[in-house]
Amino acid sequence: MPPHTIAAFTQTVTEAPDIPDALRALSAQLDETARGLQVVYYAFDARRQVVTTRYTQTAGGFAASPFEISLDHLPPRLRKDLVAGGALVDFGEMSSDYLRFFGMQDPSDALLLVQGIRAHGELCGLIAIREPRQRFGSRAADKITAPVGVFALAVTLCSEREARRQAEEALEQILGKVHEEYGRSMVALQGELQEVKRQLTADGIDARVAELQRAAFDAGERARGAASRLQAVEQQVATAVAQLEKAHVDLSRQSEALRNQGNLLHRIQRLITESPATSDPRSVLEEVRAAVASEH
The model's confidence at residue 201, banded by pLDDT at 50, 70 and 90, is low
Kindly report the number of other CB atoms within 10 A of residue 106's CB atom. 10
Residue 41: name the closest of 32, 53, 50 by CA. 53
CATH class of 3-170: alpha beta
pLDDT in tens, 65-100: 999 999 999 999 999 999 998 888 989 888 888 898
Give the C-alpha separation, 203 to 208, whole Å: 9
Where in the sequence of the chain do the CATH 3.30.450.40 domains occur? 3-170
Q: How far is CA 30 from the centre of its chain?
A: 50
- Residue 22, classified by CB atoms within 10 Å of its CB into exposed (0-12), middle (13-18) or buried (19+), is buried
Pairing of the two strands 122-132 and 110-119: antiparallel
pTM over 0.75: no
Residue 56: name the closest of 92, 19, 88, 83 by CA. 19
What average pLDDT does the chain have? Answer: 82
Residue 146: name the closest of 63, 32, 57 by CA. 32
According to DSSP, residue 65 is labeled E
Query: In the chain, how many H helices and how many E strands?
Result: 7, 6
Q: Which residues contact 132 (CB under 8 A, 6 or more apart)?
A: 36, 37, 109, 110, 111
Give the C-alpha separation, 266 to 263, whole Å: 5
Q: Is the pLDDT of residue 3 over 50?
A: no
